Amino acid sequence: MKRRLILHPPSHPMFLVLLLFIAIAPLIWLYFIPKAIALAFLPLGLGVHVGYTIAVLMVLLSMALSPVNVVLMEVPRQVAVPDFEYVSIFGIPYPTLRVRYVMSSTVVAVNLGGAVIPLAISILVVSLLAVHQSGAQGLGVLVGVAALVTVVSHLSSRIVPGVGIVVPALIPPLVSALSAITLSAALGVMSLAPSIAYAGAVIGTLLGADVLNLVKHFDKLQSPMVSIGGAGTFDGIYLSGIIALFLALILT
């Protein structure tokens, strides 16, 4: 009997749903996120077309630059390596475990799509708030939100040796959105809450989860490379900003 190659496409309903989601996810991403960001930027004085253009560029650049990591520094470190040696006792070799230390290094980098682009948008929000008629209140709310998210993201993050810094996905954006809405309502700048929630989540997650942990627990990472925002559009910095903005828009 001749051998035949049979190609059987996946037919499980959930697998087909997953394939369909993967196929249309970029289109959904490009449709909803720019509209949400443009809507959030409208109270800051940006026109709809300008805000939408900036939002589309942000999404496209974040996707395109997600694989790009810019090296900031290279830090030398000692690595413990287990090693076996044999000791001869009465002519019989016995293995003994020893630990030797070798010099290695950890590369510290920043991801363009996952950290630099969201931070650039956050700086734009700060600049627009500075010239806004309610800029003083808006900046005050932003400082409070960013500080709160910094503390919460730092306390909720943990170090996973060999992997990096892990932080719960929903805690920073939820804290940012709720605090932005609460403080904005108290100071009478509710329309600015979505944009403040975005910037506060990005800045707070960057400082609390990444920068503070790198400063305090660098030796615990035990990784050849540490990239701030290294997961690109799936990184906590990027997603925290987007989720916080959506939550603030929905809740307001």
207 confidence band (pLDDT: 50, 70, 90): very high
Arithmetic mean of pLDDT, 162-176 = 85
How many Cβ atoms are within 10 Å of 41's Cβ, its own excluded? 24
**206, amino acid identity:** L
- DSSP SS3 for 113: helix
Pairing mode of beta strands 92-111, 158-160: unpaired
Torsion of CA 183, 189, 194, 196, to 10 degrees: -60
Torsion of CA 145, 146, 148, 154, to 10 degrees: 150
pTM: 0.79
- Please report which residue ranges of the chain form alpha helices under DSSP H: 13-41, 48-65, 117-130, 135-156, 171-187, 193-205, 212-221, 236-251
pLDDT digits (tens, 9 = 90+) for 95-138: 777 777 777 777 888 999 889 999 999 999 999 999 999 989 99
- Please report which residue ranges of 75-134 form alpha helices under DSSP H: 117-130
pLDDT digits (tens, 9 = 90+) for 20-54: 655 565 666 667 778 888 888 889 888 888 888 88
Q: Which residues, other chains included, contact 231 with Cβ-Cβ below 8 Å and sequence gap of 6+? A: 66, 111, 114, 238
